[in-house]
Amino acid sequence: MNLMIVNDENSITAQVAMTLAAIAYADHKGIPTLLANQQLATQGRWQLQWLGSDDANQVYIAQDQQTGQFAVNIRGSVTDPLSEAFWLDWFKQDLEVLDMAHWPHGGAPTGAKIAQGTLAGLHSLVSLKNHSGQTLVDFLRANLEPGVSPLTGVIGHSLGGALASVLAPYLHQQFSPGQQVLDFWPVTFAGPSAGNAVFANWLTQQFAASQGRYFNTFDVVPHAWQELAWIEQSFPNGGPGLPFVMKELMKGIADLLKLIKDSYLQPGTGMPLPGALQSGDDWGMEAGQQHASATYLTLVGAPPVPVSYTSSG
């Protein structure tokens, strides 16, 4: 399942990209260990080059030692409510969607907007520094030759997917403003929508985002925030129904979203991964399993990433 062939020797497959996204949930010691694991889809070829994290976000850059290609990999939401990252991820980024901000970093058509929470996450990512005080952009500027270096995938699962869809155009503005060359490509798994139709169409036309957007057909999260009606009816084909309290919550969110006088949209039709019901009659458990990075690894045909190194995702 190829994402894009850059040349005959240089490609990122869905298996490799989803594995890199799953590894982003690991701690600082786990990431290099997992990248060195030859049993994973990454085959031990990728090496850690840069890593930054704060109380809410984590991102690392890895390089394929055979092709020289870089990948920027963003952690998704932490699901452990005992961690500070859980509260920051969910309530400062994931769920802060009732207010949109105009895209402030140039290049986009007039009227392009993204969620305030997603914008906050983007600014968190680009302010992170590694152990030597180098930002992500600092590292890329020292190591990339725009238009010459292999395409850099900007990859993430869940919240990481939404952030990848804004970090890729941000990086394009830093390195190739005004050019049509595709130096940074968002590759997202299970990502919620990041912005409005103007922004989504820009991602599709400028960054081929539809070709890099993967979603499980039974996953609730990719339907946020443009298809709340689908969430209200989940799960189809005999699966567990949305609890009443959640239906009221969905209705309340839908009503509030109408007040922003704009609406969210995913970039293009994306690349559906046919899912299957798993857990019986518990809606919450079903939703969690359908969204899990482990499920996405299975759907793209990649070996599982050992969970002992990772936080929940």
The domain limits of the chain are: 2-302
Determine the pLDDT at residue 89.
38
| Residues 121, 56 contacting (CB under 8 angstroms) | yes
229 burial type by CB count under 10 A (0-12 exposed, 13-18 middle, 19+ buried): exposed
Provide the CATH number for the domain formed by 2-302 in this structure. Answer: 3.40.50.1820
Determine the pLDDT at residue 31.
96
Q: What does the DSSP assignment read for 145-201?
A: -TTTSPPEEEEEETHHHHHHHHHHHHHHHHHSTT-----EEEEEESPPP-EEHHHHH
DSSP class of 20: H
| Residues 286, 239 contacting (CB under 8 angstroms) | yes
Distance, in Å, from the CA atom of 252 to the CA atom of 195, rounded to the nearest integer, reads 20
- Residue 167's closest CA among 150, 187, 142? 187
| Residues 213, 270 contacting (CB under 8 angstroms) | yes
| Residues 192, 165 contacting (CB under 8 angstroms) | no
Q: What is the pLDDT along the chain (313 residues), one digit of tens a residue?
A: 555 444 444 568 999 999 999 999 999 999 999 999 999 999 999 999 999 998 778 999 999 999 999 999 999 876 543 333 333 334 344 456 778 999 999 999 999 999 998 999 999 999 999 999 999 999 999 999 877 788 899 999 999 999 999 999 999 999 998 888 788 999 999 999 999 999 999 999 999 999 999 999 999 899 988 888 888 888 877 778 888 777 777 777 778 777 777 889 999 999 999 998 887 778 888 888 888 999 999 999 999 999 766 555 5
Determine the pLDDT at residue 60.
98
pTM, 2 dp: 0.90
Determine the pLDDT at residue 224.
84
